[in-house]
Amino acid sequence: MVSSANTAVGLGEGLTRAEQNVLAILLTGAHNHQIAKQLSLSEATIRTHLTHIYSKVGVDGRAALLARVNTGTGVEPPSAPPSRRRLSWAITVVLLAILALALALFVYMSFAAAGPQRTFQPRTFDIALTPVVVWAP
């Protein structure tokens, strides 16, 4: 079951027989559920084997493992881009800054378009007081 691809680049060294079998099927491009079905194991067991493989080979995940196999040099792939959470936080901050600037510009322009400021002049109203008659028996 073990292919020659993993031993050709030195990935099979230090792996158990089960991990070598998982690695051999992984190198064919199979997904976890396909590997599990082919080896008659659960997907959780496959994930555990993959975690052990990644740590023994010294990579962070499947993509790094495949990059190491494809290059055959054992060189680590370039570092991953920033996480989505960090990137979305930065975008949110920039958008909030733009929104605050737009609001400030709107307020400034609305006061500038109003012309000179008018002062408040209270209005007075004459209220006629009429007596109210209450009938009491």
| Domain match, 17 and 38 both | yes
pTM equals 0.47
Number of domains in the chain: 2
Same-domain pairing of 37 and 56: yes
Task: Please give the structure tokens belonging to residue 56.
Answer: 């023994």
Query: Has residue 54 been placed in a domain?
Result: yes
Least Cα distance to 21 among 44, 48, 39 occurs for: 39
Is 43 part of any domain?
A: yes
Q: What are phi and psi of 69, to 5 degrees?
A: -70, -45
pLDDT of residue 95: 92
Q: Would you state the structure tokens that stand for residue 112, as one six-digit string?
A: 């500038």
Alpha helices in the chain (DSSP H): 4-8, 17-26, 32-39, 43-57, 62-71, 84-113
pLDDT at 29: 85
Domain of 32, in residue numbers: 4-71
Would you say residue 21 lies in a domain? yes
Under 8 Å between Cβ of 51 and 37: no
Mean pLDDT of successive 10-residue stretches along the chain, which has 137 residues = 48 80 88 92 93 87 83 51 66 91 87 65 60 58
Cα 120 from Cα 132, distance rounded (Å): 35
DSSP codes of every residue in 73-107: S-PPPPPPPPPHHHHHHHHHHHHHHHHHHHHHHHH
Residue 101's pLDDT is 93
Residue 131 falls inside a structural domain: no
Residue 77 has a pLDDT of 42
The reported pLDDT for the residue numbered 35 is: 92
